[in-house]
Amino acid sequence: MNKKLGHLIIWQHAPLLIGMLILFIALGAWTGFRMNQHWQMLDQNHDMLISGLKYDHRRQQYQDVDGLVAPSKQQYLNQYLQVYHADRRGLLANLRVGSNVEPNDFLWGISILVGIALIAIPRYRHQNEWLQSLGFRRAAIFGATFLSYSLTTIIAYSLAKLMVLLVLVQNIPGIYFAQFNWWVWGGNVISTTLVALILMTASALVLLVTPNLVMAMLVGYAIVKPISWFVLIRSFGQPGNYLLAFLNQHWLLGIAIGCLVWGLGGILGRYLSAQQITERNHQAILLPAWRVPMLIGLSIILTKLITDVMLAPQTSWSYVAVVWSATLIGLIAWIYQPRWSRYFWQVVRQLR
């Protein structure tokens, strides 16, 4: 990366990048406080924890529904309340109590917004045009911006996780860190950071194709679950099907796939940014060649979201087909703006 370009990008985006670091450190402290409250609640309710234990007379040991065994109830409690123990896949990952209390959902929501900011802020403040006037190409500008935001995201998530750990160490007795496993904790950090990077990249790529912020957020929201399947198994809960069971045994493979997706996303972003033309910024789809792929992809995503929210899980395929058809018609009207829909879009522009 050109050093001069990198310095200019950091200077342009410094307030947001610094704000990200401060926000994530604060969120890390708040998360640590929540997790400590959860641990303290369990420590004060031993009867609840041992109520589901079953005694194996042949092996002379107690066992819970997750398979954790101990020769006595007290030793079971000492084992169960261990923080980031290798057998727990995270803090207190117990099926009866809750697989995890780390609130990653809103952190990933912030990651989607970071990806949107990566594209939207330079676009609406015309920062890239100024950099182009200095002789830098669009692809190089995107690459430098993407790298700056990615490094900031990595640092921000790492600091947030360190803050969580610091709060826990300060409030939970040291005996419950006796079996602390750095590999489990590090896997948690790597997993959640990689999901954040992929979500940031996905929302940025959508904005390179369409200026619609809502579409970028919807796509980001839609891919949270499938992306997290590949990289979060080590840190959160148990697998629910054969694919997840395989990835649970080959966590590094999931991480490698996630890194590949992130890297390819960055390469695709450089290609898409090189195709940008300022005069198209007010069109529904900025790159004509991407109209059909966006039409198909968005229709599937929106249909899935609508059916999940509005229809029962047992809904027949005929209802899904009706929703997909209506979604497809709406997207055609938005992307191609045929003659029959022009009056509607004129009213929308006037209202805006």
pLDDT tens by residue, 251-308? 788 788 889 999 999 999 999 988 877 666 677 788 888 888 888 888 888 888 888 7
Contacts of residue 144, defined as CB under 8 A and 6 or more positions apart, other chains included, come to 1, 2, 5, 6, 9
Tell which residue, 51, 52, 50, has the closest CA to residue 76: 50
Q: Are residues 244 and 103 both part of a single domain?
A: yes
- The pLDDT-based confidence of 242 (bands split at 50, 70, 90) is low
CA distances from 235 to 40, 185, 225, 273 (A): 21, 8, 15, 35
**What's the pTM value of the predicted model, to 2 decimals?**
0.83
Pick from 265, 286, 307: which residue ends a domain? Answer: 286
Helix (H) or strand (E) holding 69: strand 69-70
Identify residue 134 by its one-letter amino acid code: L
What is the count of structural domains for the chain? 2
Tell which residue, 253, 205, 201, 237, has the closest CA to residue 95: 237
Task: Give the CA angle between residues 3, 113, 335 to the nearest 5°.
Answer: 105
Contact 327, 302 (CB under 8 A): yes
Q: Are residues 155 and 16 both part of a single domain?
A: yes
Q: Are residues 278 and 308 both part of a single domain?
A: no
Q: Are residues 112 and 245 both part of a single domain?
A: yes
The domain in which residue 296 lies consists of 287-352
Q: Are residues 277 and 293 both part of a single domain?
A: no
What does the pLDDT look like over 8-51, one tens digit per residue?
899 999 999 999 999 999 998 988 888 888 888 877 877 777 77
Exposure of 19 in the CB half-sphere (CA atoms within 13 A): 7
What does the pLDDT look like over 305-335, one tens digit per residue?
888 776 666 667 777 788 888 888 888 888 8
Q: Are residues 258 and 324 both part of a single domain?
A: no
